Amino acid sequence: MASLATRLETLRQQALQELNTASDEPALARWRNTYLGRNGALAGHMRSFSQLAAEDRPAAGQAANALKRALETAFEDREGRIAALALDARFEAQRIDVTLPARRLHTGALHPTTQMLRRVVSIFRDLGFRETEGPEVELDWYNFEALNIPPDHPARDMWDTFYVNPPAVLLRTHTSPVQVRMMEKTQPPVRVVVPGRCYRYEAQDASHEWMFHQVEGLAVDEGLTMADLKGVLVAFAQRIFWPDTQCRFRCDYFPFVEPGMELAVQCPICRGSGCRVCKQSGWIELLGAGMVHPKVLRKVGYDPEKVSGFAFGMGLERIAMVANTIDDIRLFHGNDLRFLQQFA
């Protein structure tokens, strides 16, 4: 019996020593199989109890069971310790330094053309105009003939047109057709602005695109004059750019107005000294305008002896170029995020 007690004590010390060196779950599994498994060292000692005298077997069994419980308790403690160390190691590997600045969130924003469109429409809304829209695929009648541009009129050469179903259906070259549609179903007084996309088959350069945005304006009432038109345009220019904006009016020709004129503002990029954006002139043409032609009024059923009107049309991208000192209109639709994120 004394020899068995010695062997069990030696087994206990050896098992505990090896258990303390186990550093991961595979090592723990091997230790459990070696000492507590069905064919382990403790089970081998317990099978040798059959060779003991009958009176020694109960004491031997109690000693073996006590050792088994001690080893199982030590195993559970070591297993919990290794699990805690593994968790600490994982936390250390995934540690976040909360003192570091957070990553910047890249949120979406309106396109600069859309921002400018909303700003322009807001200004004209304050001036008493209301917003309306019309189709981009337009009839030749509304795009040309109703605007005093018959099929044989030389002014058609001013617009390089995309035809969808020639000669009757086309992509609108300007938003003026919506003015005709409005006048057909509305009696004076009329005050509207018409934003939208337009299309022209022309070469691209720093100041021209084949697809662009326009805002047309129309006012029809009794007693409207060129002075009213100039007052509206100057007020708009000074609000969209800066209060001391230098404006220049010059005579120009448009088939649907008489008389016609253009509004130009001093180039903000070169301040009048000349650059490629203003084509070395020092001025940037902003919009065309004029008094609505009597023939256009008659085509929609208005009496030009009783009412008069004025109209204007401007390119949104060109206004955005002036307002933000951008020197190439192609940047707006070039999909360069470095450019677009400046307006976010």
Q: Which residues are catalytic?
A: 159, 174, 200, 214, 257, 311
* Strand ranges, E, within 94-162: 130-131, 137-139
CB of 284 within 8 A of CB of 341? no
Burial 26-60 (b: 16+ CB within 10 A, else e): eebeebbebbbeeebbbeebbeeeeeeeeeeeeeb
Cα 132 to Cα 139: distance, rounded to the nearest angstrom? 18
Count the Cβ atoms, other than its own, within 10 Å of residue 146: 22
Residue closest to 79 by CA, chosen among 35, 38, 19, 37:
19
Residue 190 host element (H or E): strand 190-199
How many residues appear in the chain?
A: 344
Dihedral (CA of 118, 123, 126, 127) sign:
negative
